[in-house]
Copies of this chain bind each other. A is one copy, B any other.
Amino acid sequence: MAEQQQQRRPAPALTPERVVVAAAAVADRAGLHGVSMRSVGRELGVEAMSLYHHVAGKESLLDLLADWLMAQIDPPPADGDWRAGLHARAHSSRAALGAHPWGLSLLESRRTPGLSLLAGHDAVLAALRAGGFSVRLAAHAFSVLDAYVYGFVGTEQQLPFEPGDGADAMIQEMDESLTRFPALAELAAELVTGKDYAYGDEFEWGLELVLDGLAARLADERAASAPDSR
């Protein structure tokens, strides 16, 4: 049983990038839990110890993986208006984190921001400044938007509402508790009868609420700094 890889493909040289992409593939398949130096090595047809010649160690590999993920998120277009730009950026963030369910936990575990994250932050701040936000107000706006988007994805991924995914078990457990939790029971009843409900739709509702709030604060700020306001 000769190894096919030996003669047919010279196996492209290992690079940090190839290691990161392999780690992402393993994570997509087996979760963040399944990413080990040994499993990533196996993905590349190489021993775990070889990886240490291209990444400093597992923590460093995870830093690179987090940066790879941030690079999947589109920046807001530089020329559009701030609201459309942030709206698009929010949906792109949710899409990237939805495509890689291990992403949020990974980002949360990193302590030092990568270049892609800094670049994304810079682009969002630039969009706000171009839209007329003061530096201080842009900082506020950035914070509330970022918190909302990441928080929504986190709560969304916790729900076992993907069909068959465990919703039955949850509903059964909740059935047992319905009398103890009447407000939840009321909600469950309404959402089950009103068939058009999908939790994912809440994203847009809350995003519009936040963007409306930012537009109002921006209008306040402009009114306060206008010459005729005093």
Distance of A113 Cα from B217 Cα, bound (Å):
36
| Contact between A202 and B144, CB atoms less than 8 A apart | yes
User: What copy number does this chain have within its complex?
Assistant: 2
Q: Say if the beta carbon of A80 comes within 8 Å of chain B.
A: no
**Chain B interface: which of A18-26, A36-44, A118-126, A221-229?**
A118-126
**A19 CB to closest chain B CB, in angstroms?**
22
| Contact between A112 and B170, CB atoms less than 8 A apart | yes
Size category, A interface: 35 or more
Q: Say if the beta carbon of A186 comes within 8 Å of chain B.
A: yes
| Contact between B108 and A139, CB atoms less than 8 A apart | no
| Contact between B148 and A154, CB atoms less than 8 A apart | no
Of the candidates B112, B118, B152, B191, the one whose C-beta lies within 8 Å of that of A151 is B152
**A206 CB to closest chain B CB, in angstroms?**
3
| Contact between B136 and A190, CB atoms less than 8 A apart | yes
Distance of A119 Cα from B182 Cα, bound (Å):
10
* Given contacts A104-B108, A213-B210, A205 and B144 within 8 Å (CB-CB): yes
Q: Say if the beta carbon of A95 comes within 8 Å of chain B.
A: no
Distance of A183 Cα from B155 Cα, bound (Å):
30
| Contact between B143 and A110, CB atoms less than 8 A apart | no
Q: Say if the beta carbon of A177 comes within 8 Å of chain B.
A: yes
Q: Say if the beta carbon of A173 comes within 8 Å of chain B.
A: yes
| Contact between A206 and B143, CB atoms less than 8 A apart | yes
Give residues 158-177 of A contacting B (CB, 8 Å): 158, 160, 166, 169-170, 173-174, 177
| Contact between B166 and A111, CB atoms less than 8 A apart | yes
Cβ contacts A to B, 24 pairs, < 8 Å: A104-B108, A105-B108, A105-B109, A111-B160, A112-B166, A112-B170, A112-B173, A115-B177, A118-B174, A118-B177, A121-B181, A122-B182, A122-B184, A125-B186, A126-B183, A135-B186, A135-B187, A139-B197, A143-B152, A143-B202, A143-B205, A144-B209, A212-B213, A212-B216
* Given contacts A115-B177, A213-B209, A121 and B184 within 8 Å (CB-CB): yes
Identity of the chain B residue whose Cβ is nearest the Cβ of A150 in the assembled complex: B151
Give every chain B residue within 8 A of A104 (Cβ-Cβ): 108
Q: Say if the beta carbon of A55 comes within 8 Å of chain B.
A: no
| Contact between B138 and A187, CB atoms less than 8 A apart | yes
